[in-house]
Structure 1
Amino acid sequence: MSTLKNELDNAIRKRRTFAIISHPDAGKTTLTEKLLLYGGAIHLAGSIKSRKTQRHAVSDWMEIEKQRGISVTSSVLQFEYAGYRINILDTPGHQDFSEDTYRTLMAVDSAVMVIDVAKGVEDQTKKLFKVCKQRGIPIFTFINKLDHYGKMPIDILDEIENVLGIRAYPMNWPIGTDGQYLGVFDRRNNKAALFAADTTHGQEARSADIYEAASPELVKRVGNTTWKALKEDLELLDEAGEEFDLEKVAAGELTPIYFGSAMTNFGVQDFLDGYIELAPPPAPRDSSIGIIEPNDEKFSAFIFKIQANMNPAHRDRLAFIRICSGKFERNMNVWHEKSGKIIKLAQPQQFLAQDRQIIDIAYPGDIVGLFDPGIFGIGDTICDEDKKFKFADFPVFPPEKFARVQAKDTMKRKQFVKGIEQLTQEGAIQLFQQAGAGTESYIVGTVGTLQFEVLEYRLKNEYHVDIVMNMQPYELARWMAAKDGSEITPASLKGADRGMFVYDLNGAPVLLVSNEWALGWITDNNPNLLLNHVPFDKREV
C-alpha cells in the first residue's frame, strides 16, 4: 500500500460528515451549538432567542437569522472530538428553503433528525426524511426537549415507525417521569447516567454520574417507583422491540434513537459519543466514469453551496466543496469540469460559522470554502487533471412563487443587477426575463414566499439597494421546446397571453401560468410543444 493510500485510509476512518434536519423550532440549531460545546469548539453556548444576553447561535451568522431566530441558509461547522474530525452542516428547517437543504444533503454521509418530544413527527420532518430515504442516507434521531412535558417515549417510537416507515432502536431510554427526567439509561453498555442539576442554563457542559444497571446506588438515587418503571420499559423494549443491526442503519432502514434536551445539555454527550462510533465514514460517489472511492489517490470534489458576503466588510464570495477523494492541498491545480480549464485552489478555508481559518490540507468528507472569483456554479465538479470526470448533476426544484422585482432608485441599477445575479448563483432564487420587456426589471421565481423576504433584506443590507416587488399570479413554470426542433417564441405559441412568456438565464423559453387548466389549454392548442418542470438538461427533485 502506498504512503498516500495509507494516509487517506487513516483520515477517512476518522471523518464524520452529517447534516442536521428538522421541522422549524424542533431545536436543530441549538443541538448543533451544543455539539460544538461538547467538542470544545466553543466554551459558552448562546441561547438562540436570548434577549437577556443578546447572544445568538454560533451557526446563525446572517443578521436576519439573528433577528428572526431561524436558520435561512446552511451553515458549515467543523471541530475535532475524541480523535475524529466532525463536519456539521446545519440546514434551514423552514420548507421555503428546501432547495438549500436538499443540496446540503447531497454533501453528507448521514443525517441527524431532531424531533420535538411534544410535537412528534411534523410535516417538514416528513419531507426531509423522504429525501434522505431516497438517497439511502443513514439517519440518527435525537428526541429533543425532554425538559418539557411531551409524548411518552414509547408513543414517539410508534409514531416514528408508523408515520415515517423506518424501524427505530432506542440507544438510550429516559429515566424518570414526563418533563422531570433524571438521566438516561444506555442500553448497549447497560449503564445509567444521572445528570447533575443544570445551573448554567445550558451554557456549559453538564456532568453526569454513571451507575451500573441495578446497582443499589442507582435505585437509591432514582427511587423504587422510577426504577421499577424503567425496568419494565427496558424489558418491553428487549422483548418486543427491534434488534440493533448496524447494516440496517447504514442502509437507512433502522434509525438509532437518542433522548435528551439540547437546551439543558441533557443527553447531548451520550448522543455525540454514540454517533461518532456508529455513523459511517465518507462514502463512495457515483460519477460519469463509475464509482469514485474516497481513498482513490486522485483528488476530486463537487461544489454544493455558494455564499456571497459572509464577511460584508470584504464583499467576498465563497464556494463550498465536499471533498470526495484524494488529498486536498492548498494552491493545488485542478481541472474544472464546467469551464474545461485548469484552476488554482487558493485561500482554502474551514469554518466555525462566520469564523474561518486558512488550511493547508484536507481529506475526503471535509468541507472546504474556496475563494470564488465568479467561475464556480452549484454542482460543479473539480478533480485531478489526469482523471477527468463529472459527478452526478444536482436535481432542481421547480419554482412555485413569482414576483417582478426592480430597483426603487434607477441610479442603483448596477448594484441591483450585481446583487440579484449573485443571489441567483447561490441558488437562493431563479431569475427570468420577460419576453419583449426592458431590462429594468426581472421576474424572480422561488420555492416559497419567505425567500422573497430574504431577497429584499439581503439586497438592502449587502448591496444597499431598495427594491419594488410585485407578486405575480402564477404558480406553475414550464420550460418549453418544440418537438420538431423549431424555435419557440411568443408569436408562435398559441395562448401565450394566458400566462407570461419569459426566458431563463440561459435563454431557454419558459411559460408561467396560474393553474393547470390554463396549462392544459395551451398544451392542447400547441401539439408541437414539449413541456418540462425544470430545464431539459436537469433532473427534477
Structure 2
Amino acid sequence: YHLERNQVRLFRSRSDKAAGAVGEVYDGLAHPEVAAAIREEATLLAESIELVQGAGATFEAAEFLAGRQTPVFFGSALNSFGLLELLDNFVDAAPPPLPRAAIERTVAPTEARFTGFVFKIQANMDPAHRDRVAFLRICSGRFSEGMRLRHVRLGRDIQVAGALSFMAGSRELAAEAWPGDIIGLHNHGTIQIGDTFTEGEALKFTGVPHFAPEIFRRVILRDPLRNKALIKGLVQLSEEGATQVFRPLNSNQLILGAVGVLQFDVVAWRLKHEYGVEASFEPTAVVTARWLQPRDAGVLEKMKDRLQDNLALDGAEALTYLAPSRVNLELAIERWPECEFRATREH
C-alpha cells in the first residue's frame, strides 16, 4: 500500500522478476479487485494504515534533505515486489548534485571545469586480475574517456583510460559522466580515499574522515613466510575503509581495528581466498586509538621517545596513539597539551 498515492499493489508470483513486473496496481482499498484479494484482512489493513497515518510524520522534502527524516519502504527483493515504488520515490526525493566544500573554496556543480574525489576503494572486484577500483564522485564539469586530469595529492597529471560505470553486478566503460555520477578508476596503489582529481586546480575536498576503531585484534599469521602477502592484503583491505591496520613502532606485530566483530571474520576470509594467506585474530591490550597532531617537530620527537610503547603507524603512515584504557588516554591527553589527540582523520 502506497500511503501518499492511496494505491494498492497486489502480489502475483511470476517467473519474470524484473523490477515492476510483479503485481497490479489499484486505486484505494475499496476497489473490487483489492477487496476480493485480501478479504478478511481488509479491516486489519485499514486499521494499520490509520495507525501509521496518525502516529507517523508526513513526508517533508526539506526535512529529508536536512537528514532529519527518512522514508521507509517495505517489499521483497527476492520477488522484485515493491522495488518499482522504491526506485520511483528515490528518483523523486533525491536532490540534484549539491555544492561540495573544499579546503580552498566551495565547488558548485554547475562549474565547467572537472572536479571529483575518491570516496571508496574496492580490492579484487575481479579476482582473476587482482584489480583495485577507486570510486570517484564527480562534483563539477564533464568527464570524457581519455581526458587528462590532475591527481592533486601527487601533483601528477594522468590520462584516464578505461574508466568504468557500474549497475548492480555489471560494469561497462564510461564514455562520459556528469556531476553526481560515480565512475571507477583502475587503481595500481597510487590512489587513496579522499584524493581529489581536477583539470589543474589545486583543491582538497573535505568530509571523508577515518573514524577511530572500537575493537582491536592482534594478527596471527599461520605461515611466517607469507608475511609480505599478509601486509599487502591488510593494507589493501584497509584502504576500503571498513578496517584499519596499525603497526606498533616498537614491535613487528600487526594490529587490526574495526567497528564490528564480524569485520574480522570477513578479513580472515578475504585474506585466505584473495591473497592466499591464512591468519587469525586474538584480543590485544588496546581499547581505543587517536591520531596525533603535535604542535611541532620537537614535541613529536619527545612523544616518540617517551610513548613508544603506545605509538603505531596506520596504513597511511599516520602516527597513532594506541591506548590500553580510557584512563590511560585521558592521562596522555592531560600530559601532552602540545599535541592534539584526534578521534578522526581526514583521508
**Within 5 Å, which residues of 2 pair with 1:38-117?**
none
Contact 1:482 1:488 in 2 (8 A): no
Relative to structure 1, the CA distance from residue 427 to residue 230 in structure 2 (aligned partners, 3 Å threshold; closer, same or farther) is: closer
Q: Distance in 1 between matches of 2:262 and 2:52?
A: 43
Residue by residue over 1:363-391, the C-alpha shift from the partner in whole angstroms, topping out at 9 and shown as x without a partner, is: 22222111112211001111121x43221
Task: Indicate the SS of the match to 1:487.
Answer: helix
2:196 to 357, 361, 381: 381
- Consecutive unaligned residues of structure 1, counting only runs of 5 or more, are 1-183
8 Å contact kept, 2:271–2:278: yes
- Which whole-Å CA distance do the structure 2 matches of 1:223 and 1:503 have between them? 62
1:412 maps onto 2:245 in alignment: no
State yes or no: 1:274 paired with 2:108.
Answer: no
CA distance 1:478–1:269, change in 2 (3 Å): closer
- Closer, same or farther in 2 for the Cα pair 1:488/1:264, shift >3 Å? same
Q: 1:449 to 1:488 in 2, by over 3 A?
A: farther
- Coordinate RMSD, CA, aligned: 3.4
Letter in 1 for 2:164: Q
1:193 maps to 2:9: yes
Distance 1:507 1:437, change over 3 A: same
**Partner Cα distance (2:275, 2:39) in 1:** 64
Match of 1:477 among 273, 289, 303: 289
Match of 2:151 among 331, 336, 358: 336
Residue 305 (structure 1) shift: 1.0
The answer to whether the aligner puts 1:221 opposite 2:36 as a matched pair is yes
Residue 516 of structure 1 aligns with which residue?
326
Aligned residues of 2:20 and 2:83 also touching (Cα < 8 A): no
Question: What SS does the aligned partner of 2:154 have?
Answer: coil
- Aligned partner of 2:134 among 316, 319, 325: 319
1:395 CA displacement = 1.7
The alpha-carbon deviation at position 248 of structure 1 amounts to 3.3
- Counterpart residue identity of residue 510, structure 1: T
Q: Deviation per CA, 1:10-69, whole angstroms, max 9, x where unpaired?
A: xxxxxxxxxxxxxxxxxxxxxxxxxxxxxxxxxxxxxxxxxxxxxxxxxxxxxxxxxxxx
Mapped partners of 1:404, 1:240: distance in 2: 48
Of 98, 107, 112, which residue of structure 2 is paired with 1:283?
98
User: Cα distance, 1:471 vs. partner?
Assistant: 3.0
Q: Secondary structure in 1 aligned to 2:300?
A: coil
Report what 2:254 is aligned to.
442
Which amino acid in structure 1 is aligned with residue 83 of structure 2? V
* Whole-Å separation in 2 of the counterparts to 1:290 and 1:486: 32
- Is 1:429 paired with 2:243? yes
Tell me the CA shift for residue 267 of structure 1. Answer: 2.7
Residues 217-296 of structure 1 correspond to what in structure 2 (within 5 A)? 217-218=32-33, 220-222=35-37, 227=42, 242-296=57-111
> Equivalent pairs: percent with the same residue?
34
Structure 1's 364 and 463: CA in aligned 2 closer, same or farther, altered over 3 A?
A: same
Query: 1:309 and 1:354, CA in 2 relative to 1: closer, same or farther beyond 3 A?
Result: farther
| Distance in 1 (alpha carbons) for counterparts of 2:117 and 2:50 | 47
How far did residue 474 of structure 1 move?
A: 1.2
1:213–1:292 CA distance, 2 compared to 1 (3 A): same
Alignment partners' CA distance in 1, 2:318 and 2:89:
49
Describe the shift of the 1:223–1:532 C-alpha distance in structure 2 as closer, same or farther (beyond 3 A). closer
CA 1:330 to 1:200, structure 2 compared with 1: closer, same or farther past 3 Å?
same
Report the 3-state secondary structure (helix = DSSP H, G, I; strand = E; otherwise coil) of the residue aligned with 1:396.
strand
> Shift of the alpha carbon at 1:406?
5.6
Gap change, CA 1:194 and 1:419, over 3 Å in 2: closer
Q: TM-score, normalised by structure 1?
A: 0.56
Larger mean CA deviation between 318-327 and 446-455 belongs to 446-455
Gaps of 5+ in 2: none
Question: d(CA) in 2 for partners of 1:187 and 1:227?
Answer: 15
Aligned match of 2:342:
533
Separation (CA, whole Å) in 2 of partners of 1:292 and 1:243: 33
| Cα deviations by residue, 1:383-407 (Å, 9 ceiling, x for unpaired) | 121x432211412211233333364
Amino acid at match of 1:460: K
* Structure 2 residue corresponding to 1:391, chosen from 205, 218, 224: 205
Counterpart code for 1:519: L
Structure 1 CA distance for aligned equivalents of residues 256 and 5 of structure 2: 54
Given that residues 328 and 362 in structure 1 are in contact (C-alpha distance below 8 angstroms), is that contact kept between their aligned partners in structure 2? Answer: yes
> Could you state the TM-score of these two structures normalised by the residue count of structure 2?
0.83
CA spacing shift, 1:344–1:194, aligned 2, 3 Å: same
Aligned to 1:99: none
Give distance in 1, aligned partners of 2:55 and 2:248. 61
Alignment of 1:462 with 2:274, yes or no, is yes
Aligned residue for 1:248, secondary structure, equals helix
Shift in Å at residue 338 of structure 1?
Answer: 0.7
Q: Aligned-pair distance for 1:255?
A: 3.5
Q: Deviations over 1:233-291 (max 9, x none)?
A: 66677777644543333333444343433344443322322332333232222223433
Structure 1: distance between partners of 2:268 and 2:5: 52
CA 190–337 in structure 1, closer or farther in 2 if over 3 Å, else same: same
The residue type equivalent to 2:342 in the other structure is H
Q: Distance in 1 between matches of 2:4 and 2:331?
A: 62
Q: What secondary structure sits across from 1:256 in the alignment?
A: coil
Task: Give the Å deviation of 1:435.
Answer: 2.4
Superposed, 1:129-168 pairs within 5 Å as: none
